Amino acid sequence: MYDISKIREDFPILSREVYGKPLVYLDNGATTQKPKVVVESLVDEYYSVNANVHRGVHFLSQQATELHEGSRETVRRFINARSTSEIIFTRGTTESINLVASCFGEAFMKEGDEVIVSEMEHHSNIVSWQLLQARKGIRLRVIPITDAGELRLDVYEQLFNERTRLVSITHVSNVLGTVNPVRDMIATAHAHGVPVLVDGAQSTPHFAVDMQALDCDFFAFSGHKIYGPTGIGVLYGKEEWLDRLPPYMGGGEMIKNVSFEHTTFNELPYKFEAGTPDYVASTGLAKAIDYVSALGMDKIYAHEQELTRYAMQRMAEVEGMRFIGTAAEKDAVISFLVGDIHHLDMGTLLDHLGVAVRTGHHCAEPLMRRLGIDGTVRASFALYNTKEEVDVLVEGIKRVSRMF
Ligand code: PMP
C-alpha cells in the first residue's frame, strides 16, 4: 500500500551522495525535497504556458489564469475552506503572519491591547507582533510550557481579559514536535469573543487540517515544507474577517479603480495580492498537494508516526540521550542532546556521515531560554524517510558519542 521505495523514486535528490555516502535527509522541518511532478510542472509552465495572469485577453494569459485559480481551488479543498475567497497566496508562513499582524493590528488594535502567543513559537510568530508592539504599543501575553513541552492550558485560560484581541499559536512546534490542541484552544478563545491565528507550517505536511472543523479565523502555511516550491505559501482567513481588514500592500491586482482622489479595492482574495503573483509556484504547490493527497494524508501520518516511535526507541539506546520535547501528542520532529556534546559538533559530525540534521536554536530563542539550553540537534521526518535511515542516524549518533 505505502510503497516507500517507489515513493523515493519520485524524489531524485534522495539518491545522491554527500561525502561519498548516501544522503540521509532528516532536515524536513526546515524544508522538504520535491517530487518530480512538482519540478516538472514548473518547467512545463515556463516552457508552454507562461503569461501574466488576470485581465489578459490572450490565450496564454487565460490559460495561466485558469491554472493559477485552479491551484487556489486545490488549496481550498485541501484545507476544507468554505470558499476560494478565503485563500490568499503569500510567500510563506512568515508573510502570512506578518500580513495578519499588520492588517489586523491596523484595524482592530490600539495601545494596551493584547495578543496571546506561546513560549514555543517560531520567531515569525513573535517578532511580527513585536513590530506591531513598537508601532502601536500592544502587549504580548505568553502561554508557558511544561518540562515535557506541552502548553499550560490552565494558564492559557487565565490570560484572557477585556484587552485580549487575538490568539496566535503554532499548531505543531518545529523544535519539540508537540501537537497543540488548537481546536479546543480556538473554542476557548471564541468563548471570550477572541479570534485565533494558527501557524500551520509544521502541521500541514504531516496530517490533514480542516479549517471548518478547527473553526480557526486565520491559518498560515508554507509550500516548501509540504513538498512544493519555495516562495509560495498560504494565508487562510475567514471571509468575515478578511472583508473587515485593510489591504496589506498597494499595487496592481488589489484595486478596482484608481484615481488620485479616490481608490477602491478589489474583492477577496485579490485585495491582499498586490502585484504579479507567483503563478508558476502556485501550480507547483497544487501539484504537491495533489501528490500528498494521492498518497493519503492519513497514510503519511501513520508512516511518520511509526518512524518517530521507532526513532525515539532506537535513540534511547544511546547513553546520555536527552530528548527535548516528550509531549503525548508528538509529530515527526525529534530534538535531542547527548551528554555534554555540543549540538553543532554532533550536527557537523553526522553531516560527514551523510546525515543531514539541523542544529541550533531553530528560530525559537525564547523557547531555548525556557529550556535552559542554547540549541538542540533536530531530526525531522518526511513521507519518504525509512527505518533504515533512522538506523544510520542512530549508528551515527553512537559513533559521534564514542569520539567524545
Ligand atoms: N512557523 C514555524 C512553526 C516554522 O517551523 C517555520 C519555518 N521553520 C515558520 C513559521 C516560517 O516559515 P517560512 O520560513 O516558510 O515562512
Q: What is the CATH number of the domain that holds 302?
A: 3.90.1150.10
> Mean pLDDT throughout 226-246?
98
User: 383 and 329, same structural domain?
Assistant: yes
Q: Is residue 270 part of a domain?
A: yes
Atom of ligand 1 nearest to the CA of 95: 16
Atom of ligand 1 nearest to the CA of 171: 3
Please give the mean pLDDT across all residues of the chain. 97
Q: Is residue 112 part of a domain?
A: yes
User: 371 and 239, same structural domain?
Assistant: no
pLDDT value at residue 1: 81
Q: What residue owns the CA closest to ligand 1's atom 8?
A: 30
Residues lining ligand 1, judged by CB closer than 6 Å?
92-94, 122, 124, 170, 174, 199, 201-202, 222, 363
Q: Which residue, 265, 293, 321, sits at the end of a domain?
A: 293
pLDDT grade, residue 327 (50/70/90)?
very high
Give the Cα separation of 8 and 2 in Å (integer): 11
Q: Give the Å distance between the CA of 176 and the centre of ligand 1.
A: 14
User: 49 and 198, same structural domain?
Assistant: yes
The CATH number given to whatever domain includes residue 184 is: 3.40.640.10
pLDDT grade, residue 362 (50/70/90)?
very high
Give the Cα separation of 185 and 87 in Å (integer): 23
pLDDT value at residue 291: 98
Q: Is residue 78 part of a domain?
A: yes
Q: How far is CA 339 from the centre of its chain?
A: 31
User: 336 and 193, same structural domain?
Assistant: no
> Mean pLDDT throughout 37-48?
98
pLDDT value at residue 81: 98
pLDDT grade, residue 55 (50/70/90)?
confident
Q: Give the Å distance between the CA of 7 and the centre of ligand 1.
A: 25
pLDDT value at residue 232: 98
Residue ranges making up the domain that contains 288: 40-293
Provide the number of structural domains found in the chain.
2
- Using one digit for the tens of pLDDT, what is the confidence trace for 193-216? 999 999 999 999 999 999 999 999
Atom of ligand 1 nearest to the CA of 225: 15
Give the Cα separation of 142 and 119 in Å (integer): 6
In the set 23, 37, 274, 363, the catalytic residue is 363
Q: Which residue, 293, 316, 343, sits at the end of a domain?
A: 293
- Using one digit for the tens of pLDDT, what is the confidence trace for 64-88? 999 999 999 999 999 999 999 999 9
User: 211 and 70, same structural domain?
Assistant: yes
Give the Cα separation of 188 and 88 in Å (integer): 26
pLDDT value at residue 86: 98
Choice among 22-26, 52-56, 128-132 with the minimum mean pLDDT: 52-56
User: 195 and 66, same structural domain?
Assistant: yes
pLDDT value at residue 370: 97
Residue 266 has pLDDT above 90, yes or no: yes
User: 274 and 312, same structural domain?
Assistant: no
Q: Give the Å distance between the CA of 142 and the centre of ligand 1.
A: 19
> Mean pLDDT throughout 245-274?
96
User: 140 and 113, same structural domain?
Assistant: yes
pLDDT value at residue 79: 98
First-to-last alpha carbon distance for the chain, in angstroms, is 43
Cα three-residue angle 206-208-213, rounded to 5 degrees: 140
Q: Which residue, 293, 322, 350, sits at the end of a domain?
A: 293
Q: What residue owns the CA closest to ligand 1's atom 4?
A: 201
Q: Give the Å distance between the CA of 170 and the centre of ligand 1.
A: 10
User: 395 and 352, same structural domain?
Assistant: yes
pLDDT value at residue 46: 98
196-199 and 218-222 beta bridge pairing: parallel
